[in-house]
Amino acid sequence: MGDSLRYYNQHAREFFDSTRDVEFTQIQDRFLGYLKPGARILDFGCGSGRDTKYFISRGYMADAVDGSVELVKIASEYTGTNVRQMFFQDLDERETYEGIWACSSILHLTFDELADVFGKMHRALVPCGVLYTSFKYGTGEGERNGRYFTDMTEEKMEGLLKAVHGFATLEMWVTSDVRPGRDEEQWLNMILRKR
């Protein structure tokens, strides 16, 4: 995680500028469709704050956290909320959130770290709470362009979920990257429900 955090601290403004205005409402609304109006959501690794801002504009309560000190500053200013600096492994809430949104964020953890963090997200969700998460599509693990990535396929994710227990898969689907010029990159998206 150290190299990835260093990358985001050094490139915070550039990352904010490249992700803030990306059109993502189709997937955001797909996730929100599983939640009651006004539900409490954790934006887990909020980056630019784009999704937090959208959830708040739709009447949801959104708590946002990110590991990067620089992104926390920028996202707090952009969203008008107090974004907390926190590492994924430090999540310790219990039955607090109806939804957790981990959009292209926990993919910076190693495969071994993911099992622990999935357990923490499970504890942080209320019974029948919903988790959205996304990973670059593939089987690779390791550093690329200054950041660590754990890629996922459907089979690899099913293996992880078997090891973690406690989540039922509601939806799993593959999309192309929505950023300009990146449509050849594929993403594995999933919506899971706490059992």
Q: Per-domain residue ranges for the chain?
A: 1-194
pLDDT tens digits for range 35-85: 999 999 999 999 989 999 999 999 999 999 999 988 999 999 999 999 999
Rounded-to-integer distance, Cα 61 and Cα 54, Å: 11
Task: Return the CATH fold of 1-194.
Answer: Rossmann fold (3.40.50)
Question: Judging by beta carbons within 10 Å of its beta carbon (0-12, 13-18, 19+), is residue 20 exposed, middle or buried?
Answer: middle
The 3-state DSSP class for residue 3 equals helix
**CB–CB of 136/152 below 8 Å?**
yes
Is the C-alpha dihedral spanning 68, 171, 135, 55 positive or negative? Answer: negative
Is the C-alpha dihedral spanning 178, 56, 53, 62 positive or negative? Answer: negative
Per-residue pLDDT, 60 = 98
Per-residue pLDDT, 147 = 86
Per-residue pLDDT, 119 = 97
Rounded-to-integer distance, Cα 43 and Cα 55, Å: 9
- Which residues on adjacent β-strands are paired with residue 189? 134, 173
**CB–CB of 149/107 below 8 Å?**
yes
Rounded-to-integer distance, Cα 184 and Cα 171, Å: 22
User: Backbone phi, then psi, for 91, in 5-degree steps?
Assistant: -65, 120
Per-residue pLDDT, 120 = 98
Per-residue pLDDT, 145 = 83
Q: What is the DSSP letter of 152?
A: B
Backbone torsion region of residue 90, taken as left when φ is above 0, otherwise alpha when ψ lies between -120 and 50, otherwise beta: alpha
The 3-state DSSP class for residue 190 equals strand
Q: What does pLDDT average to in each consecutive run of 10 residues of the chain (195 residues)?
A: 62 53 81 98 95 97 94 93 96 98 95 96 98 96 91 96 95 80 82 97
